[in-house]
Amino acid sequence: MSENNRAILNDMNPTAEKVKLGDMAAYAPVIFRKAITAAANSTALAAFTAPFAMRIVDIIVEATATVSGGTVTPKKGTTAMCTAIACAADKAVTHMSEGAFVAALELAAGDVVNLSTANAEDRGIVTFIGVRL
């Protein structure tokens, strides 16, 4: 969001000015969720397309099936964003914790984020938390 647009939102009416509506919109985190409900081991699953420039600050995987050795690898296009995230025990929740690739975590508008799994049976819900750049 441009400085000009933020100022317009902040000044559009007394209530917006009081709560700084433009500042809230510009600095609010963005969240995307994608459920893995089919095999994503041989063909990547598109999670979302970045609507604006952003930096991913956390990725959370909630497993919805038990599969030995299950993992999810989030990718900017075909480049891994981090080390594969565990997705092996039903109801287990795991955050991105290692191997973050800074260049892959920064997205430009239009970049596609994909998910790949280790096994055809891996299932889960992946949540991306980001901030606008």
Assign 77 a pLDDT band (cuts: 50, 70, 90).
very high
Chain centroid, CA 56 distance in Å: 6
Is the pLDDT confidence value at 4 over 90? no
* pLDDT at residue number 2: 63
Averaged pLDDT, 102-109: 97
pTM, whole model, 2 decimals?
Answer: 0.84
pLDDT at 6 over 90: no
| Summary mean pLDDT of the chain | 90
- pLDDT at residue 102 tops 90: yes
Helices (H), ranges, 2-92: 3-11, 14-19, 21-27
Find the helix or strand (DSSP H, E) in which 104 lies.
helix 102-105
Among residues 49, 40, 52, the alpha carbon closest in space to that of 77 is found at: 49
